[in-house]
Amino acid sequence: MADRTILVTRAWPKEAEERLVAERLGTVTLRHPDTPMSRDEWMAAAQSYDVIMPTVSDKIPAEFYPAAKGKLRVMANYGVGFNHIDIDAARDNGIAVTNTPDVLTDCTADLAMGLLLCAARRIGEGERETRAGQWAGWRPTHMIGKKVSGATIGIIGFGRIGQAMARRAHGGFGMRVVFQDAWDVPDEIKAANGQAEQLGSITEVAAEADFLSLHCPGGADTYKLINAEVFNALKPGAILVNSARGDVVDEDALFDALDSGRVAAAGLDVYHNEPALDPRFLTYGNIVLAPHLGSATDGTRAAMGHRAIDNLKAFLAGETPGDLVT
């Protein structure tokens, strides 16, 4: 439809943008330069577009949803996570929401495993020391880290990415896998994903874990889920990995756990209020800091765009999109 208007809020990989335009689903606005939309831009968009394709870095004002009622039909999200979208407000105002699961599972799990290895083996610290010309040569007690192979990994959230992490940890490093999830995971799924053991609570998982890796969704239900109680339950010297959402971790409690030695190191890809980091992060050499790179590979980022387009096409054709959230 020539009069249908579509907004892509952040720059996508070129092949995905080109496909969206070539599909001729409507008049497409591709925002360049690639910067977050302001509140004023969101409010102006509310009655200007039939389709908005947002992503995780968007800060959508609460008043946007009622303002968009009657005009905006669907938010075809670029990304699996959608805690930046108020799902209840979207539903109440007649706005459908889709997301893009599956396509980023492997790359996000790869990144989480990389963070685990970097934190455990102090690769970031070693790289900085070497680059600064401070390496004094090999010695038996230099830059001692934590052994990964054969250790126990605790996984919080046993969905697609959590299961992929379990396979990497067990199959690649012989790690014992314990996990917590709200759903009762069938035995065949546990067997296929690292012979994983489901425990009854997060603190039970923490008590067993040499490494605690987070793979749960963000949002109100998991806000500061990993708090002082969880950190205090960890084995002394455990390592935290977070490639899920920043608001899952109580950052004050994390700093306290690092100061006490309860947590020996952390590998983080996500943060509260990103990209504005708490400045305390920069003072800890034993934290590996990544800038939300979980899905950042060429194939995956393009596939996310294609998945969002597929969902949009289905919706506009009157079909139920495969990844309909609401």
106 by DSSP, 3-state: which? helix
Q: Which helix (H) or strand (E) holds 152?
A: strand 152-156
Contact (Cβ atoms closer than 8 angstroms) between residue 226 and residue 246: no
What is the rounded CA–CA span in Å between residue 64 and residue 274?
A: 21
Rg (CA), the chain: 21
- 251 assigned to active site: no
Residue of 41, 167, 274, 306 marked active site:
274
User: Nearest to residue 69, comparing CAs of 56, 50, 42?
Assistant: 50
Residue of 176, 292, 301, 307 marked active site:
292
- 292 assigned to active site: yes
Q: Which of 59-65's residues contact partners 24+ apart within 8 Å by CB, and which partners?
A: 59/84, 60/84, 60/85, 60/86, 62/86, 62/89, 65/89, 65/90, 65/92, 65/93, 65/95
- 63 assigned to active site: no
300 by DSSP, 3-state: which? helix
**Residues comprising the chain, all counted:** 326
Total Cβ atoms within 10 A of residue 19 = 15
Residue of 245, 262, 301, 307 marked active site:
245
| Single-letter residue type at 132 | A
Beta bridge partners of residue 229, listed in sequence order? none
User: Nearest to residue 204, comparing CAs of 234, 162, 166?
Assistant: 234
Catalytic residues: 245, 274, 292
